[in-house]
């Protein structure tokens, strides 16, 4: 830390992204990216003609994409907020709806960025442990006394809650915003977006990074009551109004037009998830029943770290979390059937 860095950031622990080693070619199953390319319309939209327009600023209102997304999600454009990745939507939500007097309330085992955003903005965190079987008890979040943040399905467990269960959380926190992070909802979860018509304290956050094969494009969005969206827009326009670049905007528009392509690939990933889960269980693993594009798995006779290292040695990258409750597990992103066959064979060699 330089002598100029302000002391309030001295204890800030930044988010640690999944590694991207360059020493050899890996099968990358560690950051929940899609193994499939963006749809044909996206590849066609990001062309030389669009690149030539890069001298111009992008549309700060993202009007075309907002309208297309609103139609797809059956809401109004005034209910949609578009950001540079969904991390940005989450960051603005923490800034807008939590603060020194309004804690952020989230699970002990969930997306690691929530803790970082809380620290960054001087927001006290009320951390609620998941149950011993890693499920989240909705009742733990009734009258939570702050902004509730729930990843559904949760990461890195992949475990989902139903819309009805989350509705009860939303209903029982009338004085605070409930953020439902649906980064993985397209892989078998139940979206809370329909509830945004009924509750003015619900903000649903989704991303193009996972189910829409666009992690490198950096595109995310939030859906909620128009007043919440106006609050978030005020903060976006107070930082970087042009935060979605032109190429990503046209890519996102094409991706929404080709929704079926993405939903087909989600179904494929769900099939591969089932096959991989069955294979690992056959090798003695405990695998949580996932509704996401990854599985959280505990090897029979070694630590999560030992398996992670042995797989890396064999050119397969998975994610390992060293915290006490998670260190026996690894999180494995679902790739193509061929990639998962390599993973399973490597696991068989390591554990056999």
Ligand X SMILES: *Cc1c(COP(=O)(O)O)cnc(C)c1O
Pick from 52, 113, 96, 93: nearest CA to 223: 93
From residue 150 to residue 169, what is the string marking binding to ligand X with x (rule CB under 6 A)? -x---x--------------
Question: Counting contacts by CB under 6 A, is residue 209 touching ligand X?
Answer: yes
Rounded to 5 degrees, what are φ and ψ at 177? -80, 140
For ligand X, the binding residues in 173-192 under the rule CB under 6 A are 181, 183
From residue 39 to residue 78, what is the string marking binding to ligand X with x (rule CB under 6 A)? ----------------------------------------
From residue 128 to residue 147, what is the string marking binding to ligand X with x (rule CB under 6 A)? --------------------
Residue pointed to by tokens 């988010």 = 15
Rounded to 5 degrees, what are φ and ψ at 121? -100, 10
If binding means CB under 6 A, how many residues of this protein chain bind ligand X? 13
- Tell me the C-alpha distance between 68 and 75, whole Å: 10
Question: Counting contacts by CB under 6 A, is residue 276 touching ligand X?
Answer: no
- Please list, in sequence order, all residues whose beta carbon lies within 8 angstroms of the beta carbon of residue 224, skipping any fewer than 6 positions away: 79, 81, 196, 200, 202, 203, 204
95 vs 346, beta carbon nearer ligand X: 95
Pairing of strands 147-151, 178-181: parallel
Question: Counting contacts by CB under 6 A, is residue 215 touching ligand X?
Answer: yes
183 vs 243, beta carbon nearer ligand X: 183
Q: Which residue in the set 39, 207, 211, 293 belongs to the binding site for ligand X (CB under 6 A)?
A: 207
- Tell me the C-alpha distance between 133 and 298, whole Å: 13
DSSP-assigned beta bridge partners for residue 220 = 83, 207
Q: Which residue in the set 33, 87, 167, 253 belongs to the binding site for ligand X (CB under 6 A)?
A: 87
Q: Which residue in the set 30, 39, 66, 86 belongs to the binding site for ligand X (CB under 6 A)?
A: 86
Question: Counting contacts by CB under 6 A, is residue 34 touching ligand X?
Answer: no
Residue pointed to by tokens 């809650």 = 161
94 vs 111, beta carbon nearer ligand X: 111
Q: How far is the CB of 132 from ligand X (least distance, A)?
A: 22
Q: How wide is the angle at C-alpha 36 spanned by C-alphas 314 and 257, nearest 5°? A: 165
Question: Counting contacts by CB under 6 A, is residue 111 touching ligand X?
Answer: yes
Q: Which residue in the set 35, 38, 58, 85 belongs to the binding site for ligand X (CB under 6 A)?
A: 85
Binding site for ligand X (CB under 6 A): 32, 85-87, 111, 151, 155, 181, 183, 207, 209, 215, 220
């Amino acid at each position: 830390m330089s002598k100029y860095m302000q002391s309030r950031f001295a204890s800030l622990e930044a988010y640690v992204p999944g590694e991207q080693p360059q020493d050899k070619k890996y099968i990358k199953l560690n950051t929940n990216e899609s193994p499939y390319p963006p749809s044909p319309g996206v590849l066609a939209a990001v062309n030389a003609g669009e690149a030539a327009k890069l001298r111009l600023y992008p549309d700060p209102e993202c009007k075309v994409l907002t309208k297309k997304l609103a139609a797809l999600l059956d809401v109004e454009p005034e209910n949609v907020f578009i950001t540079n990745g969904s991390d940005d939507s989450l960051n603005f939500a923490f800034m807008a709806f939590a603060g020194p007097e309004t804690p952020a309330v989230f699970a002990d085992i969930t997306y690691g960025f929530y803790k970082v955003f809380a620290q960054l903005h001087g927001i006290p965190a009320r951390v609620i442990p998941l149950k011993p079987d890693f499920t989240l008890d909705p009742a733990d979040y009734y009258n939570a006394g702050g902004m509730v943040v729930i990843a559904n399905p949760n990461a890195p467990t992949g475990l989902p809650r139903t819309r009805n269960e989350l509705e009860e959380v939303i209903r029982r926190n009338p004085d605070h915003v409930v953020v439902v992070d649906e980064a993985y909802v397209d892989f078998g979860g139940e979206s809370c977006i329909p509830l945004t018509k009924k509750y003015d304290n619900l903000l649903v956050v989704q991303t193009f990074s996972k189910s829409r094969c666009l992690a490198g494009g950096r595109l995310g969005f939030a859906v909620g009551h128009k007043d919440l969206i106006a609050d978030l827009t005020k903060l976006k326009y107070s930082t970087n109004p042009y935060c979605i670049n032109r190429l990503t905007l046209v890519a996102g528009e094409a991706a929404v037009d080709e929704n079926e392509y993405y939903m087909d690939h989600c179904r494929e990933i769900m099939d591969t998830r089932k096959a991989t889960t069955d294979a690992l269980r056959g090798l003695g693993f405990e695998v949580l029943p996932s509704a996401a594009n990854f599985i959280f798995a505990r090897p029979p006779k070694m630590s999560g770290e030992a398996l992670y290292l042995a797989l890396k040695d064999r050119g397969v990258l998975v994610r390992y979390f060293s915290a006490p409750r998670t260190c026996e597990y690894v999180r494995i992103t679902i790739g193509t059937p061929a990639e998962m066959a390599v993973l399973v064979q490597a696991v068989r060699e390591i554990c056999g």
